[in-house]
Homo-oligomer: A and B are copies of this chain.
């Protein structure tokens, strides 16, 4: 079966762009700049199930996205994680955390959510697209 984004992930996030291996999406939660990388590989749940080349590409994409977040969104710590306990489709969270964010120092999962205003969401997505194109 071909790759498709899990319904829950699709509902909680919006498309930013397609990278070489992964679809990059922005979680619709204004509490933190929170991106997810979803490798376009069907039926994969673990990083270790990707082949060596796919892992290399994923690592490059994690670097790209993490550096982009760190450079353009003031933050105290990046959180980079593959959990997948709720949605098993492989996806890697990259989140810019601040000591004054609503959940600090706790992890974001299961924490409060608040969608962006539509216009803010569109502006943010276009901004991210421009930043990533420049890299």
B77 adjacent to A84 (CB under 8 Å): yes
With a cutoff of 8 Å between Cβ atoms, the chain B residues found around residue A80 in the complex are 47, 81-82
Q: How large is the interface on A (under 10, 10 to 19, 20 to 34, 35 or more residues)?
A: 20 to 34
A95-128 Cβ-contact flags toward B at 8 Å (1 or 0): 0010000001111011000000000000000000
With a cutoff of 8 Å between Cβ atoms, the chain B residues found around residue A106 in the complex are 85, 109-110
A40-80 Cβ-contact flags toward B at 8 Å (1 or 0): 00000111100000010001001100110010000001111
With a cutoff of 8 Å between Cβ atoms, the chain B residues found around residue A110 in the complex are 106-107
Query: With contacts A47-B66, A70-B48 known, is A105 near B86, CB below 8 A?
Result: yes
- Asked if A83 lies at the interface with its beta carbon under 8 angstroms from chain B, I say yes
Kindly state the separation between the CA atoms of A55 and B106 in the bound complex, as whole angstroms: 26
> Which residues of A line the B interface, CB within 8 A?
45-48, 55, 59, 62-63, 66-67, 70, 77-86, 88, 97, 104-107, 109-110
Apart from A47-B66, A48-B62, A79-B84, list 5 A-B contacts with CB within 8 A. Answer: A45-B77, A77-B83, A77-B85, A79-B81, A85-B106
